[in-house]
């Protein structure tokens, strides 16, 4: 086949795969689920889970530790006693129905806007690790330069559609204004949709103010530029940090993603059904509250579940039980007609060895079967989320590239049957290498993973027997060299810096 | 949790995971698909594929390069012209209906009999590589000692239910009687179901004769002890080696597994639909022929498909296109009511690095969604099947262990809701570590992958920062130490040796 592939095509392919800033980033297209979702259980069994969740909401309730939030709940007919809100199931369904089933998450560059909901999926990088790891320097505390590096790699990858949030912690920046520098970096180094910083209402408000400078006050009022994760502190608890954040985001027309984090055996029961019922109750309570603040607030049904290792208490990602729980969460989100968030290329491994590889697909592929509309932590995640790996990031992006092809599903064009080749051109024992069908289609056939080695054993040995860790190490450094900053009006940059100076001076 | 787990339990668990011959092997249970299969397309689209396959069988036909085979076909109403058999679709469906939808594959130890068909799945190790690789010695030609080692590791793993066939090539044994020593080793070193050697009818017959000595002539007539893979030499060709093998197996009541091997772009079109239609036609033709030799012959619908790298011509395993093709093959096999074979923990990687990890799950998990009844190559496969990895074997078995849990699906016992814990015992923000529900269930909760590291980053560093390749290297050597040969009547062993001496002397 080597000879039949025109040179221009090869060059184009190489350029795309390397991901140079000049052309690749423009080619992003958010994939669609052109394959059906996986329904683990039938409608009747799903109703059973729904009913158990309703029982939890009605009888056990959810704690809302914030006066303003309690006032909002009471005003909307929720019974609040001793900080605990008891939700009637009719009320739950009434307010869930107010949440849009699909909306646009806007980017600085409108060509990079993404749709959250329906058949659309959006991938984002890992968020939150305080450590980074690479092959040269091992594991170390992450710095602001690491954050910038990951923002650059995110901007360069055609398979990440959002820049996520706080890819790694800028531990060398004082905590008081770290969130400002973080938000600034997100706004400067890339032009894909950003999440903002969302630890508390106050921090969330700073993100909103910076976004107003970057995108304009009017645009922020009309569009959804920011996206926060509201972490339900499971079991059954929303604290004042999260509640004030929700109020700030809802009142500013921005996206609220309600995601309980449950380690089954610790924040939830040691069983799949109990965990999913509790998780469902918690997520729905959060979304209902968002709709009570401002009806129509873009809201996402989040699910983040792992199990604990019953010997050490450590979190275990990619466990078989988690895969099953994920399918149920996906079915529930579809049942409620809500955009769904799940993740990601999870791994408990400390480095991107074979364990890291196994675990990543064991998390990522089940997630695709559950069909989330937003997959955060889709690249770079290691050490149960405590570490971001440079090489892991590159390899996960490769995986996402494959899934871009996978999600296209079957092409039903008549020519895909290749009947002219099968019936007329190729005799028994012949080959399809030179058929006219192959000539017509080889250009678009088969995704090629550039980071994977498909050479013969001998060829691989002759080239130095490099494992994929070494290859990805070379690639991430090359990519950082290739990065070009997307243009931004200097006046905006200046105004952002002025806001940061003013706020840190206060 | 550490403290709450009784010591006896820990010991038991450790023993099971290590897999010592004395107890572990006894605990094998073949898993059931307690999760639904994945239907990629609806019934109407599936019929389209069926019709294209029928068109191929009727209009292009399948070459049968063997006089006796052609005579059998003609006798049963198949039109044969110039070595090519043209199958009428009515005849295809009539003979497919004669194949049993489920049967037992018998083992030397009847406790290890497996069921092939229905909701049952049977895992077997890699078969066929001429190379082995491990962390100490790298890649090298495999020897008979390597074969024996892999047979021992297979016998020890509670997650492999069959010993497969020729795990690696015994390159240090002259080719004329290699198949005899291979079959002998299979019969001696383990007591799980074996496949026999199946390169030609003559070689197949030798396996059958040795099996008659090991299992008894009468038992062989009544049960199915051997299992051969009939490789359709795609496109559309069955040669005299495969056809004489089929005739020998069918006449001796043994299992015939018809598996085309198609690299899309070479032995089949560069499209998914064309490949699947051709593969389906080839498999059905083989099974129909088996039923014409002896009606009711236990037959398996096999699918083995990868794509070629259009830059180098090398096979690519775990490609997105292959995953989609696999779901279609699974649907077709279910549609015809035939036991289904697919595989496996495929990898193109030369070693078990992250690429090997990603690729293995990218092949294995889609396979489980397609619900094969027999998954050969489920452990050890590297380098597109040219190499068997010792450490890869250990890690793939770990993966299979996880899938044993995964396939159990959801437990619907009332206590799984944990409502006493959620509603009464655990307050908002509390934890489930000590609930009575956790106490009742932690013993059976959560599969634990022994080879995977779930420690903290600091703990992992303190223990020497071993990657999983190192850990698996230790484990495979430990296991080989622990192996104990399952008892066999010395008279049988002697008779097997006598047959081999006699045959090699001829």
Contacts of residue B12, defined as CB under 8 A and 6 or more positions apart, other chains included, come to none
Query: Do the chains contact at A428 and B452, CB–CB below 8 Å?
Result: no
Contacts of A45 in chain B (CB under 8 A): 410, 412
Contacts of B1 in chain A (CB under 8 A): 265, 308, 310-311, 313
Euclidean distance between CA atoms B302 and B332, whole angstroms: 11
- What is the reported pLDDT for B28? 60
- Bridge-based pairing of strands A315-316 and A340-343 is unpaired
Is A99:A333 a contact under the CB 8 Å cutoff? no
Query: Do the chains contact at B63 and A39, CB–CB below 8 Å?
Result: no
Contacts of residue A487, defined as CB under 8 A and 6 or more positions apart, other chains included, come to none
- Residue in chain A closest to B3 (alpha carbons) equals A311
- Residue in chain A closest to B328 (alpha carbons) equals A410
Most B CBs within 10 Å, among A137, A354, A385, to test the B interface: A354
- How far A29 CA lies from chain B's nearest CA (Å)? 18
Report mean pLDDT in 10-residue bins for chain B, 506 residues: 40 39 54 97 98 98 98 98 98 98 97 96 98 97 98 97 96 95 97 92 95 97 97 96 97 98 95 97 98 98 92 87 97 98 95 97 97 98 97 97 96 96 96 93 85 93 94 98 96 97 89
Contacts of A2 in chain B (CB under 8 A): 311-313
Euclidean distance between CA atoms B87 and B73, whole angstroms: 9
Query: Do the chains contact at B417 and A313, CB–CB below 8 Å?
Result: no
Question: Band of the pLDDT at A442, cuts 50, 70, 90?
Answer: confident
Query: Do the chains contact at A468 and B355, CB–CB below 8 Å?
Result: yes
pLDDT in tens, A273-289: 999 999 999 999 999 99
Is A336:A96 a contact under the CB 8 Å cutoff? yes
Helix (H) or strand (E) holding A68: helix A67-75
Is A259:A232 a contact under the CB 8 Å cutoff? yes
Determine how many CB atoms are found less than 10 A away from the CB of residue B273.
25
Of B433, B455, B465, the CB nearest to A312: B455
Euclidean distance between CA atoms A269 and B172, whole angstroms: 56
A102 in helix, strand or coil? Answer: strand
A19 in helix, strand or coil? Answer: coil
- Residue in chain B closest to A448 (alpha carbons) equals B309
Is B402:B451 a contact under the CB 8 Å cutoff? no
- How far A247 CA lies from chain B's nearest CA (Å)? 21
Question: Band of the pLDDT at A28, cuts 50, 70, 90?
Answer: low
Residue-wise DSSP of B231-280: EE-SSSEE-HHHHHHHHHHHHTT-EEEEEEEEEETTTB-SSHHHHHHHHH
Of B278, B358, B438, the CB nearest to A270: B438
Query: Do the chains contact at A273 and B446, CB–CB below 8 Å?
Result: no
Q: On the CB side of A271, how many CA atoms lie within 13 Å of its CA?
A: 24
Query: Residue B168 carries which DSSP code?
Result: S
Residue-wise DSSP of B87-119: --HHHHHHHHTTS-SEEEE--SSGGG-EEEETT
- What is the reported pLDDT for A190? 97
Most A CBs within 10 Å, among B355, B362, B381, B400, to test the A interface: B355
Query: Do the chains contact at B451 and A355, CB–CB below 8 Å?
Result: yes
Q: What are phi and psi of B194, to 5 degrees?
A: -115, 160
Euclidean distance between CA atoms A44 and A200, whole angstroms: 39
- What is the reported pLDDT for B312? 80
Contacts of B431 in chain A (CB under 8 A): 235, 266-267
- Residue in chain B closest to A14 (alpha carbons) equals B311
Query: Do the chains contact at B356 and A354, CB–CB below 8 Å?
Result: yes
Euclidean distance between CA atoms A167 and A142, whole angstroms: 10
- What is the reported pLDDT for B430? 95
Counting one residue from chain A and one from chain B, the pairs whose CB atoms sit within 8 A come to 411
Query: Do the chains contact at A422 and B38, CB–CB below 8 Å?
Result: no
- What is the reported pLDDT for A311? 78
From the centroid of its chain, how far is CA A66?
A: 29
In sequence order, what are the beta bridge partners of A139?
A133
A490 in helix, strand or coil? Answer: helix
From the centroid of its chain, how far is CA A128?
A: 12
Helix (H) or strand (E) holding B49: helix B43-55
Cis peptide before B452 (omega within 30 of 0): no
> To 5 degrees, how large is the angle CA B324–CA B328–CA B330?
115
Query: Do the chains contact at A411 and B273, CB–CB below 8 Å?
Result: yes
Of B273, B361, B441, the CB nearest to A271: B441
Query: Do the chains contact at B468 and A429, CB–CB below 8 Å?
Result: no
Q: What are phi and psi of A204, to 5 degrees?
A: -60, -40
Q: Alpha helix locations (H) across B371-435?
A: 390-406, 419
Contacts of B441 in chain A (CB under 8 A): 269-271
- What is the reported pLDDT for B27? 52
Is A380:A389 a contact under the CB 8 Å cutoff? yes
- What is the reported pLDDT for A445? 81
Euclidean distance between CA atoms A402 and B57, whole angstroms: 33
Euclidean distance between CA atoms A205 and A100, whole angstroms: 23
Contacts of B401 in chain A (CB under 8 A): none
Q: What was the ipTM of the complex prediction?
A: 0.93
Contacts of A35 in chain B (CB under 8 A): 40, 324
> To 5 degrees, how large is the angle CA B206–CA B208–CA B209?
65
Ranges A177-186, A443-452, A478-487: which has the least confidence: A443-452
């Amino acid at each position: 086949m080597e000879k039949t592939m025109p040179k221009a095509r090869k060059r184009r392919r190489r350029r795309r795969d390397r991901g140079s800033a000049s052309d690749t980033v423009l080619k992003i297209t958010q994939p669609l689920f052109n394959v059906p979702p996986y329904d683990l259980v039938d409608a009747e069994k799903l109703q059973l889970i729904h009913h158990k969740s309703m029982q939890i909401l009605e009888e056990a309730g959810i704690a809302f530790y914030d006066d303003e939030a309690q006032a909002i709940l009471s005003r909307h007919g929720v019974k609040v006693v001793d900080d605990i809100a008891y939700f009637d199931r009719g009320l739950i369904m009434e307010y869930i129905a107010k949440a849009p089933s699909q909306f646009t998450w806007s980017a600085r560059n409108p060509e990079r806007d993404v749709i959250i909901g329906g058949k659309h999926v959006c991938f984002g990088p890992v968020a939150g690790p305080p450590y980074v790891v690479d092959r040269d320097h091992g594991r170390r505390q992450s710095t602001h330069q690491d954050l910038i590096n990951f923002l650059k790699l995110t901007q360069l990858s055609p398979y990440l559609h959002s820049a996520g949030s706080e890819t790694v912690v800028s531990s060398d920046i004082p905590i008081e204004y770290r969130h400002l520098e973080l938000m600034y970096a997100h706004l400067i180094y890339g032009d894909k949709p950003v999440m903002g910083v969302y630890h508390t209402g106050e921090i969330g408000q700073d993100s909103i103010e910076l976004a107003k400078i970057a995108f304009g006050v009017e645009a922020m009022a009309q569009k959804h530029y920011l996206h926060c994760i509201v972490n339900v502190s499971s079991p059954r608890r929303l604290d004042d940090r999260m509640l004030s954040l929700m109020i700030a985001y809802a009142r500013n027309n921005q996206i609220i993603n309600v995601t309980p984090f449950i380690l089954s055996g610790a924040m939830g029961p040691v069983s799949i059904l109990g965990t999913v019922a509790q998780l469902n109750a918690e997520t729905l309570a959060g979304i209902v509250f968002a709709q009570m603040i401002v009806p129509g607030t873009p809201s996402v049904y989040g699910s983040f579940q792992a199990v604990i290792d019953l010997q050490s208490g450590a979190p275990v990602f990619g466990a078989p039980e988690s895969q099953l729980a994920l399918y149920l969460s996906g079915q529930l989100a579809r049942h409620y007609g809500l955009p769904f968030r799940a993740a990601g290329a999870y791994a408990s491994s400390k480095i991107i060895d074979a364990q890291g590889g196994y675990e990543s697909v064991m998390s990522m592929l089940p997630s695709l079967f559950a069909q989330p509309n937003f997959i955060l932590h889709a690249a770079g995640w290691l050490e149960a989320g405590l570490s971001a790996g440079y090489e892991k990031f590159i390899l996960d992006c490769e995986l996402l590239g494959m899934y871009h092809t996978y999600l296209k599903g079957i092409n039903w064009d008549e020519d895909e049957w290749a009947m002219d080749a099968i019936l007329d051109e190729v005799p028994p024992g012949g080959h399809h290498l030179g058929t006219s069908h192959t000539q017509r289609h080889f250009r678009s056939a088969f995704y090629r993973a550039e980071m994977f080695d498909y050479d013969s054993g001998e060829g691989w040995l002759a080239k130095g027997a490099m494992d994929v860790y070494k290859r990805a190490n070379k690639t991430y450094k090359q990519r950082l060299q290739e990065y070009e900053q997307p243009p931004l009006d200097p006046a905006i940059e200046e105004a952002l810096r002025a806001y940061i100076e003013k706020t840190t001076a206060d």
